[in-house]
Chain A
Amino acid sequence: MRSKSITRAAAVIAAAVMFVGVAGAQVPAASPLPADPAQAQRERQISQPYNNAPVWKEIRSGAPQFTSLPGRETNVLIQSEGQTWRAARVPISTAGGFLFALALLGIIVFYTWRGPILVQGRPTGHLIRRYTSSERIVHWTVAITFVTLGLTGLVIMFGKSVLLPLIGYTLFSWLAILAKNLHNFTGPVFAMALPVMIVMFVRENLFRAYDWPWVKRFGGMLDRSGKSEVPSGKANAGQKVLFWLMVVLAGLTLIVTGLILDFPNFNQTRQTMQIANVVHMVAGMFGIILASAHIYLGTIGMKGAYDAMRHGYVDESWAREHHAFWYEEVMAEKPAHGLDAAPPAPPQHRIA
């Protein structure tokens, strides 16, 4: 009951944040009201006819003036924010790039040192359903679109310094056009799938009291013997943190800023798009770095994790070792003899 209303509240908040963000960005540059400045100019024209300084000051301020030509901000003679944006992008993208490289390096080092997280006990052959097919469809929709967006985004952001010197202007331009279009058309699909995923997965990602010991010992992940794993619910504290930071925070930020950038036909001002671009860049790098850790643990980093999301089922001993509280919960609901004794390979004999 409680979690249901929380789910609903989360959905409402997510929708509201998106609506406000997108709606707020659509305000076009309006002409200033000809109130006092005009009167001041009229008087100045009499007292100081040769003084053009106020005019130049007004031009330099970037305030909208009058023009008979239609178009986005054609009435602004000069905008200085572009210079700020140009200057801000360089350190942000450089830092983002190095952090990403560092994250990949960290994963490689961790894998070499720790190796994959294995299941200690022998597989029992009893399978427990971990994700429903709709949960998996939504997860993979988000996953595939996110990876597409991440890779194409990296091409647009770092291609000029990384790929262009290697493959040359013509080929890189072709690749960048492909990347831009993939990015722009995959974005809206991601924007539709992610909120659904948040609603579906928010319940199992609410923090519980037993998450604290997990955080304190980092889930026992740093123990190479793999024998000191901290018990957790359906999602462990690490997964929960990842859910709130990567999926909710970074994901929703990317959607709001991405939609602002993707639909320039709403006459957004340049400043709106510059801010959206910088926020998009930061959130994107943040999301990509977290996703690298998630993808690592979901594939080669942990045995059985990929199958859980691919087929939806996990072995009993996998559940007992990696998500002890969830396993107990499932077993309390289902009597032990209810578990399927079929071999784990074909994914059709399922009951739980």
Chain B
Amino acid sequence: MARMKFLCDAERCIECNGCVTACKQEHDIPWGVNRRRVVTINDGVPGERSISVACMHCSDAPCAAVCPVDCFYKSEEGVVLHDKDLCIGCGYCFYACPFGAPQFPQAGAFGVRGKMDKCTFCAGGPEPDGSQAEYQKYGRNRLSEGKLPACAEMCSTKALLGGDGDVIADIYRQRVTTRGKAAEVWGWATAYGRPDAKPGQPGAPGQPAPAPTGGPKT
């Protein structure tokens, strides 16, 4: 079974924000919520780098660990999903997430948080695949249609890759060999563990990532 991952090639990203727009369009995301964003380092300076970031669908997801109602679950493809019917909008996942992925539409006065919204890797939610209820809560379920995430598909420079971790890692490796530089893959150590971690450290190779919490859907 494939393990879905995102990879952003910082040598290619041109900060066009096409991925952000594609995502908003695909899922009809409300005003004020951005499931994906582009961040630029050393903006305006020679050697600036841009990176597109959204939920990385971590192996040991911090959001799932701190959720007080245990509303997160993992799909068979390793996509971290959540059940909005259970979510209470406490914001703990936002405190814990390294990537700032969880978003909260303001549902009331004084910044009262609504149900959390985040990137689903275009894999919907617990409702039946492709149903109207799923679309309204989580957006389109492209994965069930055999398509990859809209952001990566739409990327004009193919900087953003989304798909089976092994496949996109191979593509990236080929690029690194061809251009002879920039082998670093942003965010993978944080999201998917570190191959060089000592035993006992989080993400160590011998240590299986904590099993996905039971979650609402078994």
Proximity bits, B1-29, A CB within 8 Å = 1, else 0: 00000000010000101001000000000
Residues of B within 8 A of A83 (CB): 62, 96, 98
Is A66 in the interface zone, CB < 8 Å from B? Answer: yes
A52-B184, A274-B95 known; A69+B51 contact, CB < 8 A: no
- CB-CB nearest in chain A for B91: A264
Residues of A within 8 A of B53 (CB): 77
A55-B42, A65-B40 known; A169+B47 contact, CB < 8 A: no
Is A336 in the interface zone, CB < 8 Å from B? Answer: no
- Check if B51 sits within 8 Å of A59, measured CB to CB: yes
- CB-CB nearest in chain A for B214: A169
A41-B46, A65-B43 known; A86+B89 contact, CB < 8 A: no
Complex CA gap A177/B98 in Å reads 25
- Check if A164 sits within 8 Å of B182, measured CB to CB: no
Partner of B95, one of A56, A78, A82: A82
Please give the number of chain B residues whose Cβ is less than 8 angstroms from any Cβ of chain A in the complex.
Answer: 59
Partner of A170, one of B39, B44, B45, B86: B86
Residues of A within 8 A of B43 (CB): 65-66
A42-B45, A66-B43, A177-B88 known; A263+B110 contact, CB < 8 A: yes
- CB-CB nearest in chain B for A159: B68
- Check if B99 sits within 8 Å of A78, measured CB to CB: yes
- Check if B41 sits within 8 Å of A59, measured CB to CB: yes
B62 to chain A, nearest CB (A): 5
- CB-CB nearest in chain A for B217: A169
A170-B86, A173-B88, A264-B91 known; A45+B184 contact, CB < 8 A: no
Complex CA gap A264/B109 in Å reads 11
- Check if A173 sits within 8 Å of B95, measured CB to CB: no
Is B199 in the interface zone, CB < 8 Å from A? Answer: no
Complex CA gap A326/B191 in Å reads 64
Residues of A within 8 A of B89 (CB): 180
Residues of A within 8 A of B10 (CB): 52, 55
Is A294 in the interface zone, CB < 8 Å from B? Answer: no
- Check if A69 sits within 8 Å of B34, measured CB to CB: yes
- Check if A270 sits within 8 Å of B46, measured CB to CB: no
- Check if B51 sits within 8 Å of A266, measured CB to CB: no
Is B205 in the interface zone, CB < 8 Å from A? Answer: no
Residues of B within 8 A of A82 (CB): 62, 95-98
Complex CA gap A73/B113 in Å reads 16
- Check if B68 sits within 8 Å of A160, measured CB to CB: yes
Is A98 in the interface zone, CB < 8 Å from B? Answer: no
A56-B186, A82-B96, A266-B111 known; A173+B91 contact, CB < 8 A: no
Is B133 in the interface zone, CB < 8 Å from A? Answer: no
Is A186 in the interface zone, CB < 8 Å from B? Answer: no
**From DSSP, what is the main secondary structure of chain B's interface residues?**
loop
- Check if A69 sits within 8 Å of B37, measured CB to CB: yes
- CB-CB nearest in chain A for B93: A82
Is B197 in the interface zone, CB < 8 Å from A? Answer: no
- Check if A164 sits within 8 Å of B70, measured CB to CB: yes
- Check if B71 sits within 8 Å of A173, measured CB to CB: yes
Complex CA gap A80/B98 in Å reads 6
Proximity bits, A23-45, B CB within 8 Å = 1, else 0: 00000000000100110011011
A42-B46, A44-B47, A52-B184 known; A65+B39 contact, CB < 8 A: yes
- Check if A73 sits within 8 Å of B100, measured CB to CB: yes
**Which residues of A from 101 to 155 have beta carbons under 8 Å from B?**
none
Residues of A within 8 A of B62 (CB): 82-83, 86
Complex CA gap A173/B83 in Å reads 11
A157 to chain B, nearest CB (A): 7
A-B CB contact pairs (8 Å), 27 listed: A42-B47, A45-B45, A45-B46, A50-B181, A52-B10, A52-B181, A52-B184, A58-B41, A67-B40, A69-B34, A71-B32, A71-B37, A73-B100, A76-B100, A77-B99, A83-B98, A85-B96, A86-B62, A86-B96, A89-B66, A157-B68, A160-B69, A172-B69, A180-B90, A263-B111, A265-B110, A277-B95
What are the 3 tightest A-B residue pairs by CB atom distance, in nearest-first order? A265-B111, A66-B43, A173-B86
Footprint of A on B, CB under 8 Å?
Answer: 10, 15, 17, 20, 32, 34, 37-47, 49, 51, 53, 62, 65-71, 83, 85-92, 94-100, 103-104, 106, 110-113, 180-182, 184, 186-187, 190, 216
Q: 12 extra interchain contacts, Cβ-Cβ under 8 A, other than A170-B86, A265-B106?
A: A38-B42, A55-B49, A67-B38, A67-B39, A67-B40, A68-B15, A71-B32, A71-B103, A77-B51, A77-B99, A82-B97, A277-B92
